[in-house]
A and B are shown apart, each in its own frame.
Chain A
Amino acid sequence: MQALFVIMRAVSLLNERIGRLVSLLIIPIFAFLIFEIFVRYVSGSPLVWTGEATQLLFGIYAVLSGGYILLHREHVNVDLLFSRLSIRNRAIIDIFTSVLTFLFLGALVYFGSSLAYESIEFWERSQSAWNPPIWPAKLAIPVGAVLLLMQGIVKLIQDILTALDIEMPADLTLHDTAGGEK
């Protein structure tokens, strides 16, 4: 059981670190766009790379967010009836509904991987004037899906242990975090 807790903590820590790091990508996205406006104003002609660079950064930024958001329980849900249930009853319902979560993420991991694989096979580039590699952004799809899937599994284990009334260390115990109240 202790080994399981160590793994659960490691997954959560990984998503926390990645989330904090990736959240800073908004700064280069912002800076590139401002730089582009500035250069266009001064020289009268647009830059070839800023549009695509911000695009690729944004894609990575968006798709890697899932795990961090699940870790902090910030994916929106309807908590109309849900918030009135005890934490244990909520955990039991979550175990059943998680089937849909794993169907979606399973498909995304599998077919996202094949999408990324096809791209990496020939180190795909965008074929534009600037022609940057776009395979890293495609690779981010299965990576983001796996991060979210792993956090989903951590959540499932937390739910199962809560449903069985098994004690967990304080940092892994489920709290009253019904959505919306933030």
Chain B
Amino acid sequence: MSIGLLTVLFFLSLIVFLIAGLPLVFVLGGISIVFLYFTWGIESFYMVASQVWGSMNSFTLIAIPLFVYMAMILEKSGVAQALYRMMHLWWGGVRGGLAIGTVAICTLFAAMVGISGAAVVTMGTIALPAMFEQKYDKRMAIGCISAGGGLGILIPPSVLMILYSLITGASVGKMFAAGVIPGLMLALMICAYIFIRCWLQPEMGPALPIDQRGTWADKIEALRAVLLPMLIVTMVLGSIMLGIATPTEAAASGVLGALISAAVHRKLTWELVRESALRTFVLTGMIMWILFAAHSFSAAYQGMGATSLIQGLAAHIPGGPWGAIIVMQLVLLLLGMVLDPVGIMMITLPVFLPIITAYGFDPIWFGILFIINMEIGYQTPPFGFNLFYLKAIVPPNITMGDIYHSVTPYTLVLLLGLILVMLFPGLATWLPSIVL
């Protein structure tokens, strides 16, 4: 069989089995078995097992369950309630202030945890009822939580960045540093959108009545809420950036910080420790099994010789290198609508990365574009994790249609951010070049 036909079959079967609803891990694993058989024969299946052993031996990957565990504990630690009370007092008097405050808390959460769901779930249960009570527009209120939660994967630490580094060989520390400026920029852009929209249309997010805004004494007292989160951010990010600890060790100290926060808020119970451990196990195991299968998948893909074929095809994309970058972003946007980010990463990176390096682009910069794109994917229908998380916690009178509509303006803001980072690569590459 010609390599062209083989490659077409490879991707066609991938798509068919994915649409047929087979879990990604079995699609990747099963297809690689079939194509490894055609390339190298049965003996090559030994590689499938040895690739699993290889993934079990990556010290960096241990950071994933720890960052997830930290997020699961923080979600129930009472930290968010305290933060929300503070934002309520400080920002409530501004039009759209509660939504802006919610995004600010999501940003702080993003600097503590490395996943998107934790902030969505916590802010959805705390901030959403409060915003509804103040007669905020429901789409404004729901959308800001989804958009804010998505920052979790862009502002370091980030589980997706760890996986990206593992696959591409980019340094985790550099990826983390590269996410800081684009992450803060997106947070500000989201807040600016809310501020302007509510300024023009006060009914979208009315300011709190004077008597609910609290006294200066209240406001100062409420500031205590940021102490613990700032401590955690310093422990986790500070130790990585200063090179004192590996990302894995920093994640462990993050877990310690989360446990301390839960204890301070009197929420630390064996129940919390155990239930968080079980949810962490499921999420980590899911990622790890996809990774086990994905290693074989990329080996099969490269073994067939498809890399050079696809690279050859990429040369025909109009617009040269930039045309290729834009096409890749479109492919990622489309995949983001139907597949989860870990899966997208495993399928596309073996294809995209050789093209990126061949054109001389910076893999760190491409990584940030990739992550922003996945952030959009988290909230674009029909398949977006943030949408499902929200559906599970909103009151019954909010339909899935409301949730789908709520993310539209925020998605446009994120797209604008993606374009800015494409046009000005320095936004992503400047900080890693001076810190590390």
* A interface residues, Cβ below 8 angstroms from B: 19-20, 22-24, 26-27, 29-30, 33-34, 36-37, 51, 54-55, 58-59, 61-63, 65-66, 68-70, 72, 74-82, 90, 93-94, 96-101, 103-105, 107-108, 110-112, 114-115, 137-138, 141, 178-182
Contacts and interface: CB of A to CB of B under 8 A. Distances in A.
B65 A58 contact: yes
B45 interface: yes
Contacts of A100: 17, 22, 26-27, 29-31, 33-34
A58 B24 contact: no
B23 A80 contact: no
B142 to A, nearest CB: 17
A138 to B, nearest CB: 6
A107 B51 CA distance: 12
B21 A104 contact: no
B391 interface: yes
25 contacts: A29-B65, A29-B66, A33-B66, A36-B249, A58-B56, A62-B61, A68-B281, A69-B286, A72-B282, A74-B282, A76-B340, A77-B24, A78-B19, A82-B20, A90-B21, A93-B20, A97-B20, A97-B21, A100-B17, A101-B30, A103-B29, A104-B29, A104-B48, A108-B52, A114-B49
A108 B281 contact: no
A114 B46 contact: yes
B57 interface: yes
A77 B23 contact: yes
A105 B32 CA distance: 12
Interface string B251-279: 01101100000000000000001100110
B280 A107 contact: no
Interface in B216-261: 245, 248-249, 252-253, 255-256
Given A54-B62, A78-B338, 8 more contacts: A59-B56, A77-B24, A81-B21, A97-B22, A98-B22, A108-B48, A141-B49, A181-B388
Contact of B385 (A55, A110, A180): A180
Given A55-B62, A69-B286, A79-B383, A141 B53 contact: yes
Name which of A62, A81, A93 has the most chain B CB atoms within 10 A of its CB: A62
Main secondary structure of the interface of B (DSSP, over half): helix
B383 A182 contact: no
Interface residues of B, number: 66
A34 B21 contact: no
Q: Which 7 A-B pairs have the closest CB atoms?
A: A100-B30, A65-B285, A104-B29, A59-B56, A82-B21, A75-B23, A23-B281
Nearest to B61: A58
B290 interface: yes
Nearest to A111: B49
B284 A104 contact: no
A22 B59 contact: no
B30 to A, nearest CB: 2
A30 B66 contact: yes
A76 B69 contact: no
B60 to A, nearest CB: 11
B21 A79 contact: yes
B23 A76 contact: yes
B391 to A, nearest CB: 7
Contacts of B20: 82, 93, 96-97
Given A69-B286, A181-B388, A26 B49 contact: no
Contacts of A66: 285, 289
B18 interface: yes
Contacts of A182: 388, 392
A161 B62 CA distance: 40
A55 B65 CA distance: 12
B34 A62 contact: no
Contacts of A178: 21
Given A55-B59, A101-B26, A112-B52, A107 B21 contact: no
Contacts of B253: 34, 37
